[in-house]
Structure 1
């Protein structure tokens, strides 16, 4: 019985194996992807234009002339002729001091001069008479010499009286306090009726020149040769002043444009920086003394430079490179960085008009197939009709 079951099991096993072989031979083959997927990218064209180079720093606005107005004589402040914050011109009358005692001294000096001049006139007449008489021995030589000495004495007295008059006139001029510069009046510290002294350190107020005005700033000592070249250039280097800007000066409000006027005579050994100064015309008074600003100085101008956005240039292990569009594929092109800032890069190694990848570089390699994306059209929202 067992001998008859073995052939039956062997036949069943052969049938199962045959069925598996037929199924494996006739099963459908897996579909293979024969087409590669294009990588979406954005591209920009290499532009050719003149590009100015800039260096930036932090500076403070300074007045070219700021004067503390103080009295030059002791006396009572009788009147203030200007208001706080008022614009004044040079030699404008600002205030007056009581000068009655000085006028009295001036009148006295003038009277003494008149008396001396009258005495001198009589002495000159007598001297002339004695000179004639001395020829015929009408008067002695001693009398003539004494009269000559009297004339000289009276002349010296008259000169002294004139000097007293001049001194009194100078003192009287000090009773009128005039503006030494053109500028803006500051906050007043003394009111009318106060007794002023020359030793008062506080003064009446300040007069500060606003237009033109200066900006003092510091730059790294490595910039010294560049600054020296700019200061010696007959066409002064352009300097721009911003407020609320970073060190690149790309943001913030432009307050004014001036020119470089001065480089300090020494470098700060502690900070390794050198101070410089620029002068600005300030008719709108946007630059104010004490204001902190960001300055940008144009140091050079690159003619016909090849310019691309900063995100176009990639950094490799040994050099910079870009992805250039070649048909529907990309190729890597090594480039040289000439100049860079936050807004643009100047490069060498490409041609004007070349299409370079500006977005999507992370998935690229040489020879990759790409699909150039275009910016979607802007949707204009129309106002609802009433």
Structure 2
């Protein structure tokens, strides 16, 4: 009896649950349920809310960016041209010097004595030549009077020529000794900044001794590499006139501006790049040799290019395209071609310029799907439907 009673209770509970499930799943309007028309039918998701922009038309400069290194146009490693001892150092490390400025004085006593000796020898040669010339002139007179043989006159003539040659040789030797003497005074061969000084008064120096370096800082070069694919555009820009180069220091947004001065004569086949240089005025010495910088080089300008935001572009197996709003306010695929990207924007081909390009909300779109504009004011200007929550006045 107990088992039969329990079974009856279980059957009753199951019947009540089944009836409740039937009632809750019953369509609105059927058998006393909710009134008809109280909601959307299954599968009706409604329009997708999107943001749109109009393509812009502007001149777009094509810019190459690369990391570069500041390098001096000239840097001289100063060496003595004779073996001697430093008498005085006339400059300090880090000093700016002008071309011809006195830098080092060496012990010149030996060189000065050699100059005096050479000058004395020249004086002796001149006196000897003058004596032989007088003898030769007197001999010519005696030959005319037949008091001397012609052979003696010829011998004197040879002696005069020989003495003149000896004089010229010793004059050259005297000049050479003065040149040697000048090596004891070392002057700046160019204008620039003095580096570390490696000698002091009393230091013995030889031809291999490095005294210091002088680096030219103004103007100065910046060297960098550009891809060989841009070589033609680079050369075309150079033929057309001056090519501007910008350098940015320490992530600064204020560039130092110069111009392209050098394009190497060979492409590096292994790297696929070519080395170029820009030259910059550097009176304020903002650029320093060995410094790493970011460079930008404008090689061409796209006139009147069609520009859209980068985030409007979609690339998948269908190709590259954007979604635009069709006249019936549905999403339409428009194929485009990337021409040149710069920052948050890209120049494209394939748009007429009057389209309404979708930039936000496109991830939920399908071709032909209905769209609603999020910006009510923009929607009103374009004659489109806006997101109800963003409109002023009555909702849609």
Specify the TM-score bucket, using the shorter chain as the normaliser. 0.7 to 0.9
Partner-residue secondary structure (3-state), 2:35: coil
Q: 1:270 to 1:348 in 2, by over 3 A?
A: closer
Instruction: Find 2:224's aligned residue among 197, 217, 220.
Output: 217
1:90 aligns with 2:99: yes
Q: Answer yes or no: is the 8 Å Cα contact 2:50–2:371 preserved in 1.
A: no
User: Are the aligned partners of 2:80 and 2:207 in contact in 1 as well (CA < 8 Å)?
Assistant: yes
Distance 1:328 1:341, change over 3 A: same
1:209-288 mapped onto 2 (5 Å cutoff): 209-231=216-238, 233-244=239-250, 252-288=252-288
What's the counterpart of residue 131 of structure 1?
140
Q: Is the 8 A contact 1:44 1:358 kept in 2?
A: yes
Q: Which residue of 2 aligns with 1:28?
A: 34
Aligned counterpart, 2:8: none
Give 1:38 shift. 5.8
Q: Give the corresponding residue for 1:191.
A: 200
Is 2:172 the counterpart of 1:163? yes
Query: Does the aligned pair in 2 maintain the 1:240–1:254 contact within 8 Å?
Result: no
- Going from structure 1 to structure 2, the CA distance change for 1:92 and 1:42 (only over 3 Å counts) comes to farther
Q: What corresponds to 1:148 in structure 2? A: 157
Aligned to 1:370: 373
Contact 1:323–1:330 under 8 Å retained in 2: no
In 1, distance between residues paired with 2:153 and 2:343? Answer: 96
Which one is further off, 135-144 or 26-35? 26-35
Runs (5+) with no aligned partner, structure 1: 1-19, 245-250, 376-386
- TM-score, normalised via structure 1 length: 0.80
When the two chains are superposed, the root-mean-square deviation of aligned CA atoms in Å is 2.8
TM-superposed deviation, 1:118:
1.7
Query: What is the DSSP-based 3-state SS (H/G/I as helix, E as strand, rest coil) of the residue aligned with 1:184?
Result: strand
SS at match of 2:290: coil
Q: Please give the alpha-carbon distance, in whole angstroms, between the structure 2 residues aligned to 1:79 and 1:373.
A: 83
**Aligned CA distance change for structure 1 residues 185 and 234 (closer, same or farther; 3 Å):** farther
Q: Deviations over 1:246-298 (max 9, x none)?
A: xxxxx545552233333333333433333222322222222221122222221
Quote the Cα distance in structure 1 between the aligned partners of 2:84 and 2:376.
Answer: 83
Q: What's the CA shift for 1:37?
A: 5.9
Equivalence for 1:379: none
The separation in 2 between residues aligned to 1:210 and 1:164, in whole angstroms, is 40
Displacement after TM superposition at 1:218 (Å): 2.3
Q: Tell me the matched-pair count.
A: 345
Distance of 1:331 and 1:28 partners within structure 2 = 36
Cα distance between partner residues in 1 of 2:358 and 2:267:
45
Question: Which segment is superposed worse, 275-284 or 47-56?
Answer: 275-284
**Pairs within 5 Å for 1:338-357:** 338-352=339-353, 354-357=355-358
Counterpart residue number, 2:90 = 81
Distance 1:127 1:343, change over 3 A: farther
With over 3 angstroms needed to count, the CA separation of the structure-2 counterparts of 1:145 and 1:66, relative to structure 1, is same
- The 1:48–1:123 alpha-carbon spacing in structure 2 relative to 1, beyond 3 Å, is same
**Unpaired runs of at least 5, structure 2:** 1-22, 24-28, 379-396
Q: Is the 8 A contact 2:98 2:191 kept in 1?
A: yes
In structure 1, distance between residues paired with 2:61 and 2:97: 39
Comparing 312-321 and 77-86, the one that deviates more: 312-321
